[in-house]
């Protein structure tokens, strides 16, 4: 089996309960499992609305979801920190350095340097200002701060920090926070680490006087610093390290040449996600055009939620933050029962459905859609934002050439016996592979190996 290809096992389109609004079976996503994922493939996937939770990949259906998830990103070079974000960073730096050290460092600066610091905010200078290995010779900080990127390996030190964070911030019982869940969720990434250490999954650790007090879990991709999770010790909660870490990660995207900082999904109207819009200017992925658009112009201040992938959305309610299952996995909370969308019933009670711009059926709610799929409707007939239509798959993807793993050998799809070669039939081999290809897009489809 080639080691230079992503391995994807399709789970298909499934409904689930929503962890945000807590409604039952109102979430829907297309799922796939991966044991090996190339950074360039994950980059292509998140730029089509996908996200990973451990080894589980999922693409939410934002049209039928009660809490539509939107992919957002921040161009690092354009990042303009707000006053409160700068203040949090400055307070943390002053705490680490101590007042005596701050005075000493100020005395060392020239008049021109002092003037520039008053008139301009230098992001990279500010985020490194208190780090032990960045201080000038002879500086005597009150605390020793070390921030470094490490491999995403498990350690008891990291697990202890995770337990501290989950119990104090999320109110979990200590017995419910397990090593197995921590490893699966935050340590056993399927991302292949590049030989030069530039791409892959990493832990950015914050050590204060030698003690691990905070940690970011990051995926570093060809043009992304993608935030997975952040945790901090209760003893440093007063320093607002959530803001400090977000500013640092945007700085890493700039300093490391990654270009963009991805903060995960944004749910319009979710109070616990409003902070993401405060790191601007954010752009949101338009799943209809696959283009990035300003978040403020698209969603900010209005009731739109882009359920069809564009800005033609409808009203929606509040939602809750992400949760984890009993194994410590992030639950992909992404679905909706939703309001009707131009659907009426005829005299026999059958739904008369409108179609989207690709000719696919627009169902009024998730219940109706999943019932139709259970009765044999092809996923290609469902108006699923951000996926290819059947015609687009035929035009853009050489389906026969898609690679399949079979008994530890890799073969082409057309090498396998398939009594029914109709990709519109969901249970046929070609149908399963075609649905996966439609969801991952042509770039990944031609490179991946499908694990059936």
Which CATH number belongs to the domain containing residue 77 in this structure? 3.40.630
Residue 16 shares a structural domain with residue 81: no
Cα–Cα distance measured from residue 437 to residue 377, given in angstroms and rounded to the nearest whole number: 18
In a domain, 130, yes or no: yes
Residue 104 shares a structural domain with residue 116: yes
CB burial of residue 198 (10 Å; 0-12, 13-18, 19+): middle
Residue 104 shares a structural domain with residue 225: yes
Residue 76 shares a structural domain with residue 21: no
State the pTM of this model: 0.88
Q: What local confidence, expressed as pLDDT, does residue 420 receive?
A: 80
Residue 332 shares a structural domain with residue 205: no
In a domain, 289, yes or no: no
Residue 114 shares a structural domain with residue 224: yes
Residue 247 shares a structural domain with residue 362: no
High-pLDDT (> 70) share of the chain, %: 86
Residue 145 shares a structural domain with residue 22: no
Residue 103 shares a structural domain with residue 191: yes
CA dist 376 → 343, 344, 428 (Å):
20, 22, 11
Q: Mean per-residue pLDDT for 276-287? A: 95
**Tens-digit pLDDT profile for residues 18-44:** 777 777 778 899 999 999 999 999 999
Residue 58 shares a structural domain with residue 85: no
Cα–Cα distance measured from residue 390 to residue 392, given in angstroms and rounded to the nearest whole number: 5
Q: What is the mean pLDDT of the chain?
A: 87
Confidence of residue 337 (pLDDT cuts 50, 70, 90): very low
Residue 46 shares a structural domain with residue 119: no
State how many domains the chain has: 2
Q: Mean per-residue pLDDT for 215-222? A: 98
Q: What local confidence, expressed as pLDDT, does residue 302 receive?
A: 39
Residue among 258, 282, 285 at smallest CA distance from 385: 285
**Tens-digit pLDDT profile for residues 362-408:** 999 999 999 999 999 999 999 999 999 999 999 999 999 999 998 88
Domain carrying residue 197: 70-264
Alpha-carbon Rg of the chain, whole angstroms?
Answer: 24
């Amino acid at each position: 089996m080639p080691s230079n290809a992503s391995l994807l096992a399709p789970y298909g389109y499934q409904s689930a309960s929503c962890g945000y609004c807590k409604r039952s079976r109102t979430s829907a996503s297309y799922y796939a499992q991966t044991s090996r994922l190339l950074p360039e493939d994950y980059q292509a996937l998140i730029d089509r609305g996908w996200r990973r939770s451990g080894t589980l990949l999922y693409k939410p259906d934002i049209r039928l979801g009660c809490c539509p998830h939107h992919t957002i990103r921040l161009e690092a070079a354009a990042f303009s920190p707000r006053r409160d974000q700068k203040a949090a960073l400055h307070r943390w730096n002053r705490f680490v350095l101590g007042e005596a050290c701050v005075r000493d460092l100020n005395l060392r600066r020239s008049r021109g340097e002092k003037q520039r610091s008053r008139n301009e905010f230098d992001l990279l200078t500010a985020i490194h200002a208190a780090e032990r290995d960045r201080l000038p010779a002879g500086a005597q900080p009150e605390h020793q701060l070390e921030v470094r990127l490490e491999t995403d390996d498990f350690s008891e030190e990291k697990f202890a920090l995770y337990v501290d964070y989950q119990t104090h911030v999320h109110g979990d019982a200590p017995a419910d926070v397990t090593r197995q869940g921590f490893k699966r969720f935050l340590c056993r990434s399927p991302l292949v680490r590049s030989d030069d250490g530039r791409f892959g999954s990493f832990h950015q650790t914050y050590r204060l006087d030698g003690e691990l007090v905070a940690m970011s879990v990051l995926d570093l991709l060809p043009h992304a610093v993608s935030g997975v999770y952040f945790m901090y010790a209760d003893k440093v909660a007063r320093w607002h390290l959530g803001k400090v870490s977000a500013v640092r990660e945007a700085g890493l995207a700039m300093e490391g040449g990654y270009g963009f900082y991805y903060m995960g999904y944004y749910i319009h109207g979710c109070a616990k996600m409003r902070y993401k819009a405060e790191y601007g200017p954010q752009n949101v992925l338009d799943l209809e055009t696959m283009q990035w658009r300003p978040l403020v112009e698209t969603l900010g201040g209005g009731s739109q939620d882009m359920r069809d992938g564009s800005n033609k959305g409808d009203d929606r309610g509040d939602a809750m933050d992400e949760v984890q299952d009993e194994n410590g996995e992030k639950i992909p909370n992404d679905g909706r029962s939703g309001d009707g969308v131009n659907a009426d019933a005829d005299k026999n009670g059958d739904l008369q459905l409108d179609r989207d711009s690709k000719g696919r059926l627009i169902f009024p709610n998730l219940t109706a859609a999943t019932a139709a799929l259970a009765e044999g409707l092809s996923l290609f007939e469902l108006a699923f934002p951000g996926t290819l239509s059947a015609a687009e798959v035929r035009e853009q993807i050489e389906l026969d050439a898609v690679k399949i793993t079979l008994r530890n050998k890799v073969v082409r799809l057309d090498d396998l016996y398939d009594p029914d070669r109709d990709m519109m039939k969901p249970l046929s081999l070609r149908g399963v592979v075609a649905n996966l290809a439609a969801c991952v897009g042509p770039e990944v489809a031609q490179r991946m190996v499908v694990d059936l």
